[in-house]
């Protein structure tokens, strides 16, 4: 019975499933398509790390999902999550964040006015650096880090813009993100 349920679940919801580990052939295909360098070397930056929760259907409760082909997702120890970023940070960029529960990777898959206007940093920042911090909005069930935290940003460096990648290529990039982050530890 459990196997039947799993099979039905995969049939109906398989389009949004991102494997925990990337398929090596898919990774080679992606590298041939966008180049061997997916992300730049990391840049450390103080950010105001806010969170939002995905909707019940997994597609997201955010209204501004632009050209979304990857549904909103929470990060796990093996899979990258999604985040909304300011306009200057390219979609497809990766952010590595340290928590007490471990390291998580997030892929910039959306942008929006709330992160651009930095209201969260202005209103809650206690120092000049905090009030000037970039706001990143992580898709997470709860906040596992302090409001202001130093993260590592890996700018998307693919030759093809992230939003022009096929759904399969985007899934491969998400699947590879956590592996990439743990290799750099």
Q: Which pLDDT belongs to residue 67?
A: 43
Model pTM greater than 0.95? no
Report pLDDT for 64. Answer: 46
By the 8 A CB rule, do 20 and 78 touch?
A: yes
Percent pLDDT > 90 in the chain is: 34
Lowest mean pLDDT among 19-28, 41-50, 125-134, 173-182: 19-28
More confident position, 185 or 180: 180
Is 166 a residue whose pLDDT tops 70?
yes
Residues 51-62: what's their mean pLDDT? 62
Complete DSSP assignment for 81-147: EEEEE-TTS-TT-EEEEEETTEEEEEEEEEE-HHHHHTHHHHHH--SHHHHTPEEEEEE-SS--S-S
Q: Average the pLDDT over 54-77 and give the result.
A: 62
pLDDT at 111: 73
Average model confidence (pLDDT) across the chain: 79
pLDDT band at 72 (very low <50, low <70, confident <90, very high): confident
């Amino acid at each position: 019975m459990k196997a039947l349920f799993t099979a039905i679940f995969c049939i109906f919801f398989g389009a949004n499933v991102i494997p925990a580990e990337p398929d090596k052939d898919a990774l080679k295909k992606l590298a041939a398509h966008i180049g061997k360098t997916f992300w730049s070397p990391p840049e450390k930056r103080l950010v105001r790390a806010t969170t939002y929760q995905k909707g019940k259907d997994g597609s997201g409760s955010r209204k501004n999902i632009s050209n979304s082909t990857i549904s909103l997702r929470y990060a796990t120890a093996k899979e990258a999550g999604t985040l909304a970023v300011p306009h200057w940070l390219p979609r497809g960029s990766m952010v590595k964040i340290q928590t007490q529960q471990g390291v998580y990777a997030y892929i910039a898959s959306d942008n929006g006015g709330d992160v651009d206007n930095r209201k969260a940093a202005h209103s809650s920042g206690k120092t000049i650096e905090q009030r000037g911090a970039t706001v990143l909005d992580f898709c997470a069930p709860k906040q596992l880090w302090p409001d202001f935290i130093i993260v590592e940003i890996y700018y998307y460096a693919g030759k093809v813009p992230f939003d022009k990648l096929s759904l399969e290529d985007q899934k491969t990039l998400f699947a590879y993100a956590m592996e990439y982050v743990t290799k750099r530890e």
